[in-house]
Structures are given as structure tokens and as C-alpha cells.
Amino acid sequence: MTTRHLSLLKPTGRLTLGNLLGALRPMAAAQDGADCYYGVADLHAMTVTHDPAVLRERTDELRLLLLAAGLDRSTLFVQSRVPAHTQLSYLLECVATTGELSRMIQFKEKGRGVGSTRVSLYTYPALMAADILLYRPARVPVGDDQRQHVELTRDLAQRFNRTYGEVFTVPELVVPAAGARVMDLQDPRSKMGKSSTDTAGVIHLLDSPDVVRRKVARAVTDSDTGPDAVRPDRERKPGVSNLLEVLVACGGSPAGLTTYGALKRAVTDAVVAVLEPLQQRYADLATDRAHVADVYAAGAARAREVTAPVLAAAEAAVGL
Ligand code: AMP
């Protein structure tokens, strides 16, 4: 059986160079010889106060960016267009307990004890479990921040299977090969995040070459001078190390670079060379909306088709 991969990205904030190197590139590489389902998790963008117009705009941008990033050999879909996700989520809420949902880190840190917290912030781990279980992937690669969610998914699947009969494939949790981790250019000890409010150190995928140049030029380095100042040392030289990693991940070479000015020019050139073709494809797609709509309509139809038997089996098992 072909391996199946599944990955959903949340349309909150604008995608960054970190998303490209840490997520979209590996997702594109995974397409060889595998059956990939990649989607826009629009429902997950509603667990906190949201503006409908912004959600629509971000969802649209992400739809184009997934295509522009070369994921065109995958089944691409928007989560809300595949109702099985919310339908199965409810069935899983009926196996999940308030104890385990209360222990989920996001809820503990952002919502517990706050009267205005949306119920969906409490229940979204069940939706995430549905996102995964519907596609029966054998393995789910997880970074540290997602470990708790996938463990809950396994617990819910096992409990469901024990209580109502074998319906779900219990996915194995695998630690992905250490991928690029891009740090904020202004705060190189923190991840470059798409939801950061201060974007001076964040390179967005649609930033123009000028904006990239300005952000890289202002990147935090250190006061080392001398012939070996340009060297990696995550602990003592986080800014310089980050620039070197970005340079190499974007196809550049640190050979012969001895000053921070030269390093920054090389980083700018390498990043712009990676972003330009992506931005060109994005611009082409933006003028061919009918094509984008067709791709996502076909993707949602395929996603509905492959998830229907799983949902039907789960419904029958619980007595619906
Ligand atoms: P997020 O933007 O945090 O919702 O994450 C979406 C995906 O992009 C996940 O697979 C993250 O691991 C990846 N990602 C986000 N930010 C970075 C970063 N700065 N460096 C590497 N990967 C990242």
C-alpha cells in the first residue's frame, strides 16, 4: 500500500520562511511515491476571536501558497469543505473526557478559568484527532509542540476501538528528521512565527526583495570581529548561526564570508532566489482563480470520498 501523508496548516498569520523550510519543503518532498493529503485548517482558526473577512483572505492566500510551493501532486483541500471532519469530531467528543481535554496545554495556558474562552478552544483536540483518523495514516510525524495532540488521538482511537469495535487505524507517532528551524531575525532565541505581532524579524513568503533586504540587514548578530566571527555557535552566537543556517537551507554557501555585512548580503541573495520563483507562481495563480478553484474542488471531492467509509464505519459502530 502506498504511504499516506496528511498535513493541515492553519490560516492564521502570513506564512514565513520558517514555514517554507520547516514544513512546505518537506511536504513537497514527501509527494514522491506517496499519497498526500494537504489542507487548510480553516476551522482551527476559529478557536479564538476572529474576523470573517480576515479568515477568508488568509484561507485564500494559503490555498495559493500551497500550490505555489509545489504541492500540486497532492490532494489539496480546505477542511471546512469536507464535513466529515466536524462529523467525526463530534463522535470523538463522545469518547473524550473532560479530564483529558482540560489537561491539553493550549487550553491550560490560554483558556482555562477564563469565562469568555470559546468552547472550541477546549474541544479542538477532538477535531484534530478527527483530521488525522479520517485519513488512516500509518504514521504521523510530530514536532514537540504537537506530541500531546497525537497522543490524545491515539488514546481516543484505541478507546473507541475497544468500546465500539475496530474502526480506526491507530497511527504511530514518529519524530521527524531534524528539519530546518528558522529563528526570528530580531530575537534569534525564538522561532520565526507566523503569528508574531512584531514582524521586523519575520520574513514572509510574499515579502518583496527590498523588504527581505531590509529585514536581513537589521538582523541581530553580535559584537564579535576578526576573521572567524562568521561561524556557527547556537549557544553564544544565535543570530549569526541562524543566518548561516538560512543561507545554507536556501542553497547559498558560507565559504569565504568573513564579515557580517557580507553574510547578510549572501543571505539576502539566497532568500530572494528562493522566494522569487514562488512569488512568480503565486502571481500567476492569482490571475487564474478558476484553476485554483478547480484544484481545491477536486481535492475536496477526493477527500470526501476517502473519508466517507471511515465516518460511516464510526457512525455504524456507535449506533447511528
Ligand atoms: P505554525 O506556523 O506554527 O502553525 O506551524 C506550521 C508548520 O510550519 C509546522 O510544521 C511547523 O513546524 C513549521 N514551522 C513554523 N515555524 C517554523 C520555523 N520558524 N522554522 C521551521 N519550521 C517552522
Which tens digits make up the pLDDT trace of 265-282?
A: 999 999 999 999 999 999
Q: How far is CA 93 from the centre of its chain?
A: 24
Q: Give the Å distances, CA to CA, from 242 to 23, 41, 246, 247, 253.
A: 17, 29, 6, 8, 14
Q: What is the DSSP string of 59-92?
A: HHHHHHHHHHTT-TTSEEEEGGG-THHHHHHHHH
Q: Are residues 128 and 43 in the same domain?
A: yes
The CATH number assigned to the domain holding 256 equals: 1.10.240.10
The cell numbers describing 111, all together, are 483558556
Q: Are residues 259 and 111 in the same domain?
A: no
Write down the pLDDT at residue 178: 62
Domains identified in the chain, total number: 2
Q: Give the Å distances, CA to CA, from 108 to 99, 104, 105, 169.
A: 12, 6, 5, 29
Q: Are residues 277 and 297 in the same domain?
A: no
Q: Are residues 226 and 127 in the same domain?
A: no
Nearest CA to ligand 1 atom 5: 19
**Phi, psi angles (nearest 5°) of residue 5:** -115, 145
Enclosing domain of residue 246: 209-283
- Residues 133-148: tens digit of each pLDDT: 999 998 887 777 788 9
141 C-alpha to center of ligand 1: Å?
13
Write down the pLDDT at residue 179: 67
Write down the pLDDT at residue 175: 77
Specify the pTM. 0.94
**Phi, psi angles (nearest 5°) of residue 199:** -100, 10
Write down the pLDDT at residue 1: 64
**Which of 14, 15, 16, 19 to probe ligand 1 with, by most ligand atoms within 8 A of CB?**
19
Write down the pLDDT at residue 311: 98
User: DSSP label at 171?
Assistant: P
Point out the residues of the chain with pLDDT beneath 70. 1, 177-179
Closest to 251 measured CA to CA, from 230, 232, 231, 269: 269
Residue 194 among the catalytic residues: yes
Write down the pLDDT at residue 248: 96
Write down the pLDDT at residue 233: 94
Write down the pLDDT at residue 2: 78
Residues having CB closer than 6 A to ligand 1 are: 9-10, 18-19, 21-23, 143, 180-182, 191-194
Question: Is 216 domain-assigned?
Answer: yes
19 C-alpha to center of ligand 1: Å?
5
